[in-house]
Amino acid sequence: MANVILVSVLSMGGLSLLLGAGLAYASKKFAVETDPRVDAINEVLPGANCGACGYPGCSGLAAAVVEGNAPVTACLVGGPAVAQKIAEIMGVSASGETKDRKVARVLCQGGVKEARLKSDYHGVKSCRAASMVNGGPKGCPFGCIGFGDCAKVCPVGAITMSENGLPVIDEEKCTGCGLCAKECPKQVIALTSAKNEVHVRCRATLKGKDTKEVCKVGCIACKQCEKACPFDAVHVLNNVAIIDYEKCRNCMKCVEKCPTKAITSAFAERKKAVINDNCIGCTICAKNCPVNAISGEVKKKHAVNAELCIGCSICAEKCPKGAITMVRGEGNIKTSICDACAAVK
């Protein structure tokens, strides 16, 4: 018996060794000379093969970058760090043109507590499957179904499902690959710039009354946000408020006005402008302030009226001396995280 084991081990081992050696020789002999940059780029890419760049896997992107068909910043997951490395390999500068970081945001707040169900669903626990049965169990045809298809598809584990049946996105972990947005059958997840703090968390284009019937936190198209916005950045289109992120300056005026709390901000309190001693009294800030919160005499240090300041940062951008900083006060708490812990409790 021992003899049989010994012989089989030896013969198979010998055979494998022989074949391995043969293959090793062949791989040298038939080595294909690829552009070494392709391999180098492949090395620095995250290797998640998520496909967010639009190429089939990381090696596909590496080849495209070398051929010049893709920009060095194409990898969304890797972000600026990877873009920098790829730029070094390609011998170009990353030129700081890295797109601003995108983060997935959940545009629905209608969880178990807020949204009314129209039916009792007992099928496969998947949003995609549930959405095929008469548009899903929720009364709102636009709402999050809550089986967490997005959490399942997230390659970095940034999405967890709260007790309230809504996805909670860890914005630190989120790489902005957009797989969750693609997976969601209700398109409730959107990629927005990490800079944007204020979002309309409702996509229901139902009439205001109908929205109110199915969800406590839906946008009822009352247009109060439109009137409150100092920057003309939010508009009610098709019975739902939509923020123009190019114009929005996170002033949170609309957040305060929204009667159903459908518009939220990532932070509980807005930031305030603070003028330091670099101020030369040029009055540029005072002229540009949309709410006239800055006052002061020419050539003297200006002051900000914190009551009036809406934290739009226009003054900070306009100040030629960089004398204005935007400071967030006591309320520097991420409300999204608060939601999460409240939900867990």
Partner 1 sequence: MKELLFIIAGSVLVNNFVLSRFLGECPFLGVSRKLETAISMGVATTFVLTMTSVATYFIQFYILEPFGLSRFLQIVSFILVIAALVQLVEMVILKTSPALYKALGIYLPLITTNCAVLGLALLIAIKRYNFIQSVAFGLGAGIGFTLAMALMAGIREEMEFGDVPEALQGAAIVLITAGLLSMAFLGFSGLIPM
Q: Is 289 annotated as a binding residue?
A: no
The piece of 25-33, 142-150, 173-181, 229-237 that touches partner 1 (CB under 8 A) is 25-33
Smallest separation (angstroms) from partner 1 to the CB of 43: 20
- φ, ψ (nearest 5 deg) of residue 285: -65, -45
Nearer to partner 1, 22 or 123 (CB): 22
**For residues 26 and 306, which CB has a smaller minimum distance to partner 1 in the complex?**
26
In terms of DSSP H, where are the helices of the chain? 2-29, 36-44, 57-67, 79-90, 127-132, 149-153, 179-183, 208-214, 224-228, 253-257, 284-288, 314-318, 335-344
SS3 226: helix
State yes or no: residue 96 binds partner 1 (CB under 8 A). Answer: no
Q: Which of residues 187-226 bind partner 1 (CB under 8 A)?
A: none
Q: For the CB of residue 1, give the shortest distance to partner 1 in the complex, in Å.
A: 12
SS3 84: helix
How far is residue 93's CA from residue 69's CA, in Å, rounded to a whole number?
Answer: 17
Q: Which is nearer to partner 1, 55 or 142 (CB)?
A: 55
* Cα–Cα distance, 219 to 324 (Å, whole number): 35
Six-digit token string for 178: 């957009």
Residue 50 assigned to a binding site: yes
Q: Which one of 6-14, 50-58, 212-220, 327-335 is the stretch in contact with partner 1 (CB under 8 A)?
A: 6-14
DSSP classification of residue 54: S
8 lines the binding site for partner 1 (CB under 8 A): yes
CA distance 29 to 106: 54
| Least distance CB 13 / partner 1 (angstroms) | 11
Interface with partner 1 includes 32 (CB under 8 A)? yes
Q: Check residue 22 for interaction with partner 1 (CB under 8 A).
A: yes
**Count of positions on this chain that bind partner 1 (CB under 8 A):** 16
Total number of residues shown for the chain: 345
Write the burial class of residue 238 (CB in 10 Å: 0-12 exposed, 13-18 middle, 19+ buried).
Answer: exposed
To the nearest 10 degrees (0 to 180), the angle between helices 36-44 and 57-67 is: 130
Task: Give whichever of 19 and 342 is closer to partner 1, judged by the CB atom.
Answer: 19
Cβ closest to partner 1, residue 15 vs residue 333: 15
Near partner 1 by CB under 8 A: residue from 1, 2, 17, 27: 27
Cβ proximity to partner 1, 34 vs 276, nearer residue: 34
DSSP-H helix ranges across 68-123: 79-90
Q: DSSP for 122-182, please give it.
A: -S-S-HHHHHHTTT-SBSSTTS---S-HHHHH-TT--EEE-TTS-EEE-TTT-----HHHH
The b/e string for 295-315 (b: 16+ C-beta within 10 A; e otherwise) is ebeeeeebebeeeebbbbbbb
Among 1, 2, 30, 259, binds partner 1 (CB under 8 A): 30
Please state, in angstroms and rounded to a whole number, the distance separating the CA atoms of residues 210 and 80: 44
Task: Indicate whether 16 belongs to the interface with partner 1 (CB under 8 A).
Answer: yes
Among 17, 19, 306, 341, binds partner 1 (CB under 8 A): 19
Q: Residue 22 CB, nearest distance to partner 1 (Å)? A: 7
Q: Answer yes or no: is 202 a known binding residue.
A: no
Considering the rule CB under 8 A, would residue 95 count as an interface residue with partner 1? no
The CA distance from 228 to 239, in Å, is 17
Binding-site residues sit at: 50, 53, 58, 75, 140, 144, 150, 154, 174, 177, 180, 184
The residues of the shown chain that bind partner 1, judged by CB under 8 A, are: 4, 7-8, 11-12, 15-16, 19-20, 22-23, 26-27, 30-32
Binding-site residues for [4Fe-4S] cluster sit at: 50, 53, 58, 75, 140, 144, 150, 154, 174, 177, 180, 184
